């Protein structure tokens, strides 16, 4: 554990970083790039709506606990494309990784 960072936040950050790296690898494939970025944008928009622009890393980590449910509903409704459920967890982690950088207490 990093001094002063709750363990659940550090675990979530690690998952988000790993998901973002996997997302980048998947997005390198031209056949899936557009779909993945549409899903990322859709989830990021919903995350912004749910958590707002002023939040802490702990709040983001807490929201992450229920994120798969609402992300599934959101992508199914707004950006369904062939094969999207297969990569949803990766796209979700990537969205959190990128969005968490705006947290008031974010530290690289």
Segment 20-37, tens digit of pLDDT: 999 999 999 998 999 999
Q: Does 51 reside within a domain?
A: yes
Domain that holds residue 64: 7-100
63-105 pLDDT, tens digit per residue, is: 999 999 999 999 999 988 887 888 999 999 999 999 999 999 9
pTM across the whole model: 0.91
Asked if 90 and 20 touch (Cβ cutoff 8 Å), the reply is no
Q: Is residue 85 part of a domain?
A: yes
For 12, 67, 70, 85, 108, the CA distances from 43, given in Å and listed in that order, are 17, 9, 9, 13, 22
Report the domain count for the chain.
Answer: 1
CA-wise closest residue to 100 among 68, 70, 71, 58? 58
Q: Is residue 35 part of a domain?
A: yes
Residue 74 in any domain: the answer is: yes
In-domain check, residue 107? no
Q: CA dihedral defined by 97, 15, 7, 52, rounded to 10 degrees?
A: 30
Structural domain includes residue 82: yes
Does a structural domain hold residue 75? yes
Per the CB < 8 A criterion, the answer to whether 66 and 74 are in contact is no
108 located within any domain = no
**CA 2 and chain centroid, separation:** 22
């Amino acid at each position: 554990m990093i001094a002063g960072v709750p363990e659940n936040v550090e675990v979530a950050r690690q998952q988000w970083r790993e998901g973002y790296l996997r997302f980048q690898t998947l997005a390198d494939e031209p056949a899936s790039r557009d779909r993945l970025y549409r899903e990322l944008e859709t989830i990021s928009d919903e995350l912004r709506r749910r958590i707002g622009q002023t939040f802490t890393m702990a709040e983001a980590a807490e929201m992450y606990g229920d994120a798969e449910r609402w992300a599934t509903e959101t992508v199914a409704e707004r950006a369904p494309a062939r094969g999207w459920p297969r990569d949803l967890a990766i796209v979700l982690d990537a969205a959190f990784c990128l969005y968490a950088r705006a947290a008031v207490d974010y530290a690289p």
